[in-house]
A and B are shown apart, each in its own frame.
Chain A
Amino acid sequence: DAEITQSPRHKITETGRQVTLACHQTWNHNNMFWYRQDLGHGLRLIHYSYGVQDTNKGEVSDGYSVSRSNTEDLPLTLESAASSQTSVYFCASSDRGLADTQYFGPGTRLTVL
């Protein structure tokens, strides 16, 4: 069965460190998305990609970067982790863009101390 996986599931890091969260999908979807989920805010879009070599900024992109070198993977990098980036991060993919059904990974809980 096709799936979308995230690793690690839990991560604790220190302020100022670079952190990369992995996202891998076997749906063969062109579109991939990264969100963060915080209490009282629902999900907020960080970055998205509509295909290989394509990346776009979302609502809350400051301090984050992504790169898309193949269809299956969209890693999210925190260049210099800050305590405000403590959150749960979700990766998702879809066949035809944001408005299409998105399939979500299980999430990564990141704590920045």
Chain B
Amino acid sequence: AQSVTQLDSHVSVSEGTPVLLRCNYSSSYSPSLFWYVQHPNKGLQLLLKYTSAATLVKGINGFEAEFKKSETSFHLTKPSAHMSDAAEYFCVVMRGNDMRFGAGTRLTVKP
């Protein structure tokens, strides 16, 4: 069975500083990995996905993530946080029809 662990339930950064949201996964096979974002009272939106191509994946709104097989990690980063980045972020692991979401990391951005 697959699983995903988001290592921080809440991350707080100041506007203009880097963002790091950590995700570790467990999968018996090479999985597909995703990051989704959920703004308050909204549905989820895909930020980026890894499907066994380049290990550094660039997404929307300046986010990127690096797949590290040796560390079973898929951390999400952004060089400079913006107030509009405040939201809940979900890491997702998938293999075949088995899709598992992490519990989420709430990102707060302070002015």
**Within 8 Å of chain A (Cβ to Cβ): is B97?**
yes
> What count of chain B residues pass the 8 Å CB interface test?
19
The answer on a CB contact under 8 Å between A44 and B43 is no
A99 and B43 in contact (CB under 8 A), knowing A44-B101, A56-B97? no
The answer on a CB contact under 8 Å between B44 and A102 is yes
- A-B pairs under 8 A by CB, number: 45
**Within 8 Å of chain B (Cβ to Cβ): is A104?**
yes
**Within 8 Å of chain A (Cβ to Cβ): is B83?**
no
A59 CA to B98 CA, complexed, in Å: 8
Q: How far is the CB of B20 from chain A (nearest CB, A)?
A: 19
A106 and B41 in contact (CB under 8 A), knowing A42-B103, A56-B97, A101-B46? yes
**Within 8 Å of chain B (Cβ to Cβ): is A113?**
no
**Within 8 Å of chain A (Cβ to Cβ): is B56?**
no
A42 and B104 in contact (CB under 8 A), knowing A98-B97, A98-B99? yes
> What count of chain A residues pass the 8 Å CB interface test?
21
* A residues in contact with B97, CB < 8 Å: 48, 56, 98
* B residues in contact with A4, CB < 8 Å: 43
B:70-105 near A, CB below 8 Å: 90, 94, 97-104
**Within 8 Å of chain A (Cβ to Cβ): is B69?**
no
* B residues in contact with A44, CB < 8 Å: 101
Among B32, B42, B102, contact of A42 (Cβ-Cβ < 8 Å)? B102
**Within 8 Å of chain B (Cβ to Cβ): is A76?**
no
The answer on a CB contact under 8 Å between B90 and A90 is no
The answer on a CB contact under 8 Å between B90 and A42 is yes
**Can you name 27 A-B residue pairings with CB atoms under 8 Å?**
A40-B103, A41-B103, A42-B90, A42-B103, A42-B104, A43-B90, A43-B101, A44-B101, A59-B100, A90-B43, A90-B44, A92-B43, A92-B44, A98-B94, A98-B97, A99-B32, A99-B49, A101-B46, A101-B49, A102-B44, A104-B43, A104-B45, A105-B43, A106-B41, A106-B42, A106-B43, A107-B43
Chain A interface (Cβ < 8 Å from any Cβ of B): 4, 40-45, 48, 56, 59, 90, 92, 98-99, 101-107
A-B interface, 9 closest residue pairs, ranked by CB to CB distance from nearest: A104-B43, A42-B101, A43-B101, A104-B44, A101-B46, A42-B103, A99-B32, A42-B102, A98-B99
